[in-house]
Amino acid sequence: MFLWFHKLGSPPHFYRIAGRWIPWLLAIFAVLLLSGLYGGLFVAPPDYQQGESYRIIFIHVPSAWMSLFIYVVMAFCGVVVLVWRMKLAEVVLISSAPIGASFTFLALATGSLWGKPMWGTWWVWDARLTSELILLFLYLGVIGLHNAIDDKRIASRAVAILAIVGVVNIPIIHYSVEWWHSLHQGPTVTKFDKPSIHLSMLIPLLLMALAFKVYYVLTLFQSSRAELLKRERNSKWVEELSRGQ
Query: Is the residue at 165 inside a domain?
Result: yes
Calpha distance 128→180 (Å, rounded): 9
Q: What is the dihedral of CA 166, 171, 175, 181, to 10 degrees?
A: -30
Query: Is the residue at 40 inside a domain?
Result: yes
Work out the number of other CB atoms within 10 angstroms of the CB of residue 69.
19
Query: Is the residue at 13 inside a domain?
Result: no
Mean pLDDT of 90-111: 97
Rg, Å, the chain Cα set:
20
**What pLDDT was estimated at residue 196?**
64
Among 239, 220, 189, CA closest to 57: 189
Query: Is the residue at 4 inside a domain?
Result: no
Q: How many helices (H) and strands (E) does the chain have?
A: 9, 0
Work out the mean pLDDT of the chain and round it to a whole number.
Answer: 89
What are the Cα distances from residue 79, in Å, to 17, 54, 145, 245?
24, 39, 17, 36
Number of compact structural domains in the chain: 1
| Helix or strand holding residue 157 (H, E) | helix 152-166
Domain range for 227 is 18-44+51-185+197-244
Calpha distance 21→155 (Å, rounded): 29
> What are the tens digits of pLDDT across the range 123-145?
888 888 899 999 999 999 999 99
Query: Is the residue at 190 inside a domain?
Result: no
Give me the phi and psi of 124, to 5 degrees please: -135, 150
> What are the tens digits of pLDDT across the range 69-96?
999 999 999 999 999 999 999 999 999 9
pLDDT at 38 over 70: yes
What are the Cα distances from residue 5, in Å, to 10, 11, 216?
9, 12, 20
Query: Is the residue at 106 inside a domain?
Result: yes
Query: Is the residue at 191 inside a domain?
Result: no
Query: Is the residue at 1 inside a domain?
Result: no
**pTM over 0.85, yes/no:** yes
Calpha distance 160→166 (Å, rounded): 10
Beta bridge partners of 47: 51
